[in-house]
């Protein structure tokens, strides 16, 4: 196994365990102190059940809300303009050992693709109109390999399950905050002021747990990149140029930065009109990202790895799966 792949897998496992164990330990310690060994664990179970119901409702019906927000329309086999997408999605799904998901075109003004779904709505993949305009067919297949990797790895379900813990810490802190503000000291241990302070501390801790969740999400995104390299012919190379085109389409200065070899800082403002990116510009960006040193904090508050990190990982995968590379 590639060392980079092994590192990502280990990081995902350790991050998941750390979030669950530390979060539950913190919750149990606080509730047991304030409410005793009998009521404390029951409160944790009750809060988890409440959060789970909310998350399940969002998960089951979420695809319908997403379709409405993205103005997504399903692609039918007889669609004269986009029917070919069904063949490409079916091919990538077959390589992943999955049934072909439903395919949607999202009518929004920025490039993106995403996999989603639920037991009620079924598995789906959506591609926005600008993505179809700026990517060639091989690059689009690589992007689909990434998105179907999320379905294959059950990322939505995993992140929802682990995400129960930061939500638990938040709601526990929220309850103690208001209990301290208007109530008493819970089982005679402490007073309203202490409850208030512990509530604030737990709310702050929940945001720290969210940083761990962002780290876990970045690892899942990297794992989906690996999936594209493993299951799509030329996936690593084509995903590299696809990423470059997607980012540069909203920041045309990016190509100039690497073509001129300057040290201009990359700035991202509100998306401008999406521009098509020439192949030479995309390759120049990829070459620049291959050698860019990314500070550890650059993507600390992002749910995706820094693009340069993704390109560098994909570069390593070219040699792990050479028979797939063009």
Long-range contacts for 257-262 (Cβ within 8 Å, ≥24 apart)?
A: 257/288, 258/284, 258/285, 258/287, 258/288, 258/289, 259/284, 261/288
Q: Is 147 marked active-site? A: yes
d(C-alpha 213, C-alpha 286), whole Å = 28
Express the helix, strand and coil content of the chain in percent, nearest 5 each: 70, 5, 25
- Tallying the residues shown for the chain, one arrives at 326
Sign, Cα dihedral of 222, 228, 231, 234: negative
Using CA atoms of 126, 129, 244, 92 in order, give the dihedral in degrees to the nearest 10. Answer: 40
* Closest-CA residue to 133 (of 281, 277, 321, 288): 277
Q: How far apart are the first and last CA of the chain?
A: 21
Burial class (CB in 10 A: 0-12, 13-18, 19+), 187: middle
Q: What is the CA radius of gyration of the chain?
A: 23
Which one of the listed residues 147, 157, 279, 315 is annotated catalytic? 147
The two tokens of residue 108 are 């929004």
Instruction: Indicate which residues carry an active-site annotation.
Output: 147
């Amino acid at each position: 196994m590639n060392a980079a792949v092994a590192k990502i897998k280990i990081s995902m496992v350790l991050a998941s365990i750390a979030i669950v164990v530390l979060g539950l330990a913190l919750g149990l310690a606080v509730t047991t102190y304030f409410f005793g060994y009998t009521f404390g664990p029951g409160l944790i179970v009750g809060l988890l059940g409440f959060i789970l119901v909310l998350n399940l409702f969002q998960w089951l019906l979420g695809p319908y809300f997403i379709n409405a927000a993205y103005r997504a329309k399903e692609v039918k086999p007889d669609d004269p303009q986009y029917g070919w997408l069904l063949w490409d999605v079916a091919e990538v799904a077959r390589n992943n050992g999955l049934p072909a998901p439903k395919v949607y075109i999202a009518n929004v003004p920025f490039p993106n693709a995403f996999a989603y779904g639920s037991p009620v709505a079924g598995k789906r993949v959506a591609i926005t109109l600008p993505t179809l305009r700026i990517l060639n067919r091989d690059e689009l297949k690589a992007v689909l390999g990434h998105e179907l990797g999320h379905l294959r790895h059950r990322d939505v379900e995993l992140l929802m399950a682990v995400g129960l813990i930061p939500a638990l810490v938040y709601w526990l802190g929220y309850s103690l905050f208001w209990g301290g503000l208007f109530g008493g000291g819970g089982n005679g241990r402490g007073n309203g002021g202490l409850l208030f302070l512990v509530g604030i501390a737990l709310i702050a801790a929940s945001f720290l747990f969210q940083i761990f969740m962002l780290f876990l999400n970045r690892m899942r995104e990297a794992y989906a990149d690996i999936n594209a390299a493993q299951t799509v012919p030329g996936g690593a190379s084509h995903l590299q140029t696809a990423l470059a085109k997607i980012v540069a389409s909203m920041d045309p200065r990016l190509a100039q930065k690497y073509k001129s070899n300057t040290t201009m800082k990359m700035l991202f403002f509100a998306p401008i009109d999406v521009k098509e990116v020439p192949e030479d510009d995309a390759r120049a960006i990829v070459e620049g990202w291959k050698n860019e040193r990314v500070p550890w904090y650059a993507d600390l508050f992002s749910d995706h790895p820094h693009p340069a990190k993704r390109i560098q990982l994909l570069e390593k995968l070219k040699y792990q799966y050479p028979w797939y590379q063009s």
